[in-house]
Structure 1
Amino acid sequence: MDHSNLKLSEEKVFKDPVHRYVHVQDQIIWDLIGTKEFQRLRRIKQLGTTYLTFHGAEHSRFNHSLGVYEIVRRIVDDVFQGRPEWNENERLLSLCAALLHDLGHGPFSHSFEKVYHTDHEQFTRNIILGDTEVHAVLHKVGADFPQKVADVIGKTYPDKLVVSLISSQIDADRMDYLQRDAYFTGVSYGHFDMERIMRVMRPTEDQVVFKATGMHAVEDYIMSRYQMYWQVYFHPVTRSAEVILTKILQRAKALYQDAYQFKYYPTHFISLFEEKISLEDYLKLDEPVILYYFQMWEEEEDVILQDLCSRFMNRKLFKYVEFDPSKQYKLLGQLEELFKKAEIDPDYYLAVDSSSDLPYDFYRPGEEEERLPIHLLMPNQERHELSRESAIVEAISGKRRTDHKLYYPRELLLDDSKHREVKQQILSILEKH
């Protein structure tokens, strides 16, 4: 039986707050959604610790993955259909890659990746190619189909147009998460006219281009991305929670390596601590599991682990001040010494966190992470790179904005039961800056 064209007897729909409905007509897509690896994404938040800043941000990677699939479905079924540049045989591949692009994300993924050296993109490919329910479903389409899906997500698939649908400077992934994250955080920045963008999309051999008449909708998208990064994704309070989360993971790992006797043995973490995590172990990790450990560790003998877990679970976050590492690097060393004098471990209670974003860039050959520019299709059929036509986009093109904050536990410094003078000295240094 040819599974590549197998349709459901009746279309299935998911009600969605962003796209109104997510439509499923293909048996393979329906089967993929039902796999345990895809259902796991319900237990991983799309925005990590952001719910501690914007209380509505409880949506999951499951929501987002369905949204990306729906945008790609509309592009290939409505916008591209019948156009000579689009190969209709790539339809199902594009839909599967869109649906599965985030499959390998772990709990609070960015903190986990930093501390335990995991890579969610590699795990996505491992799940697709490994002994999993997802692999079994994809294999029904063809023996080489799982590899093709992994190649699209890994950006190595030969048809660059298919890759660009989920991985470019204006792709279905970003178009969904900007709108979805804006909706759930309650901010107005992430909204842009996706309907207009889709109307002016045109497929070419290697990427999607946009009719010049739709330039303002594309500008709006770029600016909404810029605003969302600074107002939501890099919010300093979210980053404070992220710092504490990272410190918990580091502390648990350090204790394990020092043969500390945990009251609540970290079974799910062992392969992470030893950095030899199997696919099976990885798939058992989700945010409810991690939060269970954090709640248990609030009762650990180790004061630092206990305190950090309590802070995270009860939202007692670190305060922050602006910090310029290029000018203030000596200050950091000075503060570390004073923290030690005050018997507050600077490894866990003093942290510099940096955020950096490049809202739009044009192609610069040979540079790290080369980015395909966004091209406008002019009335004479020439292609012009976006920033050549848009003064707004030109103003932010290639400009990397970076922000540094120094995080510390203010209430520990206000506790004057001991080392009062040192703590006052630390506070005066921090609050002067």
Structure 2
Amino acid sequence: MTRPDGKLEEEKVFKDPVHRYIHVRDELIWELIGTKEFQRLRRIRQLGTTYVTFHGAEHTRFNHSLGVYEIMRRMVDILERKGVWDADERLVCLASALLHDVGHGPFSHSFEKVFHMDHEQWTRRIITGDTEINEVLKKMGDDFPNKVADVIAKTYDNKLLVSLISSQIDADRMDYLLRDAFYTGVSYGQFDMERILRVMRPEEDQAVFKHSGMHAVEDYIMSRYQMYWQVYFHPVTRSAEVILCKILNRAKELLEQGYDFQITPGHFMSMFNGQVTLNDYLKLDESIILYYFQAWEDEKDAILSDLCQRFMHRRLFKYVECNPSKQMLIWPELQELFKKIGLNPDYYLVIDSSSDLPYDFYRPGEKDERLPIHLLMPNGELRELSRESDVVEAISGKKRTDHKLYFPKDLLTDHTTFREEKQRILSLLLNQEG
């Protein structure tokens, strides 16, 4: 039963290991959770291939999206208590938080890389297209889906609202740091979210934080820094991502060549030919991907078969640290040696780079400029975080980049054939480090 004000007669509650409870009081949110597009997120892991490194990382985009909604609900409650929040914006804010990741595909960022897609564009298409989500949103008015889509696109008029879900300290980041740390079993991502919410204060374009809470914000920034390098960019996870991408690239190449698959990738056809529809996209999840990978273990094509076996049975590529300047000098010789021993370097010799900028201050005109975090001083002045925090100042604007070269070491240590060439390859690869 629903009351005239749009509230549920009885609050719905989800038990959650991170936030303890997730509270749903609005009929709109309850109906959105029940749509088939949102339920699809149960079948897409939050951290892609990270489960091959941290065995507990089996949580999903569904878990995370509920968590972001719960943090946003708490933020909105705080703003309403302070009397600075337009009640008409409340459901726009909550719906945007809940739906912000609904456009993610299977294995998320790896999938986007291969098919040149943007999950935020798909999120907006799902919100505004012929979907159950769109039908539910339209109950709030014909223009309501576009309002939610504008928040996702960061073009919504209320910049404060946008900042709560997309900034350097927002509901999305706070949930994924805490949630990913919990499920991977690490301590790096822990920070005092309750303290951060208590010291949050609304300004016209963004939320700021009382100076007395600076140390909680510092802890959040450093937690994010550690999580990226210890979890998100873990070299074993990246090895699995490399192989996953190469499998999809190989399948695409074989289709273009007219290869006769034993198990035709019907779910991928529109993806490979660039004519994917919204319905096609929504049918894809990780169970579909893994079905094909398991089936392709028995394909006649040696490369596709080998890569699928590696992914499914965790026989991953090894890696060495890669010095870009040295790599340029030896790359042609490495490629020729790989070809000579019968390994296609396009699939078995891969450089992967990761980079992160943990915090930055405002740099007008620069690409991907970031709105900085501001502290509210006792005298009412706003001060940018790195001006007050020595800890944050030390990492501000410093982009860290890491390069690794991945290869099948098991095939190079088998000296029954091409012994000299394989030894030369290993020598060149080991000399990459440093």
Seen in structure 2, the aligned counterparts of structure 1 residues 4 and 100 have a Cα distance that, compared at 3 Å, is farther
Partner Cα distance (2:422, 2:246) in 1: 22
- Which residue does the alignment assign to 1:264? 263
353-362 vs 107-116, greater mean Cα deviation: 107-116
Partner AA of 1:414 in structure 2: T
Which residue pairs with 2:33 in the alignment? 33
C-alpha separation between the residues in 2 aligned to 1:263 and 1:175? 45
Q: Is the 8 A contact 1:3 1:28 kept in 2?
A: no
Q: Counterpart in 2 of 1:228?
A: 227
3-state DSSP of counterpart to 1:169: coil
Closer, same or farther in 2 for the Cα pair 1:357/1:265, shift >3 Å?
same
Query: Which runs of structure 1 show a deviation greater than 6 angstroms over 4 or more consecutive aligned residues?
Result: none
Residue 4 (structure 1) shift = 9.3
Q: Report deviation, 1:152.
A: 0.3
What's the CA shift string for 1:282-325, capped at 9, x where partnerless?
Answer: 00000000000000000000000000000000000000000011
C-alpha distance in 2 between matches for 1:393 and 1:118: 33
Q: Deviations for 1:200-237, whole angstroms, at most 9, x for unmatched residues?
A: 00111110000000000000000000000000000000
Shift of 1:5: 3.5
Could you list the runs of 5+ residues in structure 1 that have no partner in the other structure?
Answer: none
**Deviation (angstroms), 1:83:** 2.4
Q: Pairwise mapping of residues 349-388 of structure 1 onto structure 2 (< 5 A)? A: 349-388=348-387
Amino acid of the residue matched to residue 40 of structure 1?
R
Query: What is the Cα-based RMSD across aligned positions, in Å?
Result: 1.1
Asked if structure 1 preserves the Cα contact closer than 8 Å seen for 2:124 and 2:149, the reply is yes
Given the alignment of the two structures, is residue 303 of structure 1 paired with residue 302 of structure 2, yes or no? yes
The amino acid that maps onto 2:336 is E
| Counterpart AA for 2:137 | L
User: What secondary structure sits across from 1:9 in the alignment?
Assistant: strand
| One-letter amino acid matched to 1:66 | L
Shift of 1:334: 1.7
Aligned residues: 431
Amino acid at match of 1:158: D
Whether contact under 8 Å (1:247, 1:308) holds in the other structure is: yes
1:20-419 correspondence runs (5 A): 20-77=20-77, 79-419=78-418
**Preserved contact between residue 363 and residue 372 of structure 1 (Cα < 8 Å):** yes
Q: Please say if residues 117 and 275 of structure 1, whose CA atoms lie closer than 8 Å, have aligned partners that are also in contact.
A: no
CA contact (8 A) 1:46 1:61 kept: yes
1:53 is displaced (CA, Å) by 0.2
Provide Cα deviations, 1:99-145, integer angstroms capped at 9, x if missing partner. 00000000012111111112111000000000000000000001100
State the Cα distance separating 1:417 from its structure 2 match: 2.5
Taking a change above 3 Å as real, the CA distance of residues 87 and 326 of structure 1, as seen in their structure-2 partners, is farther
> How far is 1:328 from its partner?
2.4
Matching residue's letter, 1:281: D
Give the deviation of 1:55 after TM superposition.
Answer: 0.2
Measure the CA separation in 2 of the matches of 1:377 and 1:305: 56
Amino acid at match of 1:13: V
Query: Which SS does the other structure have where 2:401 is aligned?
Result: strand
Q: Report if aligned partners of 1:72, 1:98 keep a CA contact under 8 Å in 2.
A: yes
Alpha-carbon contact 2:3-2:9 (below 8 Å) kept: no
Distance 1:202 1:395 in 2: 25
CA contact (8 A) 1:3 1:141 kept: no
Structure 2: runs of 5 or more not aligned = none
Q: What amino acid does structure 2 have at the position aligned with 1:187?
A: V
AA aligned opposite 1:44 = I
8 A Cα contact 1:4 1:92, kept in partner:
no
Q: Distance in 2 between matches of 1:11 and 1:402?
A: 46
CA change 1:108–1:307 in 2 (3 A) is same
1:3 Cα deviation from its structure 2 partner: 9.3
Give me the whole-angstrom Cα distance separating, in 2, the residues matched to 1:329 and 1:233. Answer: 27
SS of the residue corresponding to residue 80 of structure 2 reads coil
Q: Is the Cα–Cα contact under 8 Å of residues 85 and 204 in structure 1 kept in the other structure?
A: no
Preserved CA contact (<8 Å) 2:319 2:407: yes
Counterpart for residue 423 of structure 1: 422
State the AA in 1 paired with 2:44: I
**Matched-pair contact (CA < 8 Å) for 1:125–1:150:** yes
Classify the secondary structure of the residue corresponding to 1:206: coil
Q: What code does the residue aligned with 1:57 have?
A: A
Amino acid of the structure 2 residue aligned with 1:30: W
Corresponding residue for residue 12 of structure 2: 12
In the TM superposition, residue 34 of structure 1 has moved relative to its aligned partner by 0.1
- Give the AA of the match of 2:328: Y
Question: What is the one-letter code of the residue matched to 2:238?
Answer: R
Percent of aligned positions that are identical: 71
Letter in 2 for 1:429: L
Q: Do 2:57 and 2:184's aligned partners in 1 also have CA atoms closer than 8 Å?
A: yes
Provide closer, same or farther for how the CA distance between residues 370 and 5 of structure 1 changes in structure 2, counting only shifts above 3 A: farther
Equivalent AA in structure 1 for residue 114 of structure 2 = V
Measure the CA separation in 2 of the matches of 1:171 and 1:254: 40
Whole-Å separation in 2 of the counterparts to 1:404 and 1:227: 18
In structure 2, how many angstroms separate the alpha carbons of the residues matched to 1:14 and 1:316?
38
For 1:359, what is the secondary structure of its paired residue? coil
Deviation larger for 85-94 or 6-15: 85-94
Quick one: distance in 2 between partners of 1:165 and 1:236? 32
How far residue 276 of structure 1 moved from its aligned partner, in angstroms, is 1.3
Q: Partners in 1 of 2:342 and 2:45 — Cα distance?
A: 36
